[in-house]
Amino acid sequence: DAGVIQSPRHEVTEMGQEVTLRCKPISGHDYLFWYRQTMMRGLELLIYFNNNVPIDDSGMPEDRFSAKMPNASFSTLKIQPSEPRDSAVYFCASSWTANTGELFFGEGSRLTVL
C-alpha cells in the first residue's frame, strides 16, 4: 500500500484565496483525521471522520474551514477565504479504528498564505 497520500505538498497563495487540500487514506481504514501543525501550537486535531461521516469538528478554527469525505478513498479540507494565520502544515492521517491510537500520517501539505 502506498500509505496516506496528500496533495499538494506545498501551496503558496495570497490572502483571500480559496485553498483545497486533498487526502487519500489507506485502503480499508475507517477513520480519517485532519491535523494542523504549527510551531506555536504543535499538532492540533481539526476534524475526523468515521466511515465517511464527520464525527467531531470541534477543532475546526472557524467557518472559513470545511471538510468533506464524499467516499472512503478521498477527503478534502477547504479554507475560504484563506488568511496568513492559516499558514501551517496540514496532515491527514488514517487508521482502522480510532481506539488503537496508532495513526498513519501522510507527508503533509505545507500551506503559506501571503
Site residues for other proteins per CB under 8 A: 4, 31, 33, 35, 41-45, 48, 55-56, 91, 97-108
The C-alpha cell at 64 is 472559513
Cβ closest to other proteins, residue 19 vs residue 91 = 91
Task: Quote the CA–CA distance of 22 and 27 in Å, as a whole number.
Answer: 15
Least distance between other proteins and beta carbon 15 (Å): 26
Q: Are the C-beta atoms of 44 and 59 separated by less than 8 Å?
A: yes
Least distance between other proteins and beta carbon 43 (Å): 4
Distance from first CA to last CA of the chain, Å, rounded? Answer: 36
- Rg, the chain, Cα only: 13
Cβ closest to other proteins, residue 18 vs residue 44 = 44
Least distance between other proteins and beta carbon 107 (Å): 4
Least distance between other proteins and beta carbon 9 (Å): 9
Cβ closest to other proteins, residue 81 vs residue 110 = 110
3-state class (DSSP) for residue 16: coil
Q: Are the C-beta atoms of 34 and 91 separated by less than 8 Å?
A: yes
Cβ closest to other proteins, residue 35 vs residue 65 = 35
Q: Are the C-beta atoms of 113 and 15 separated by less than 8 Å?
A: yes
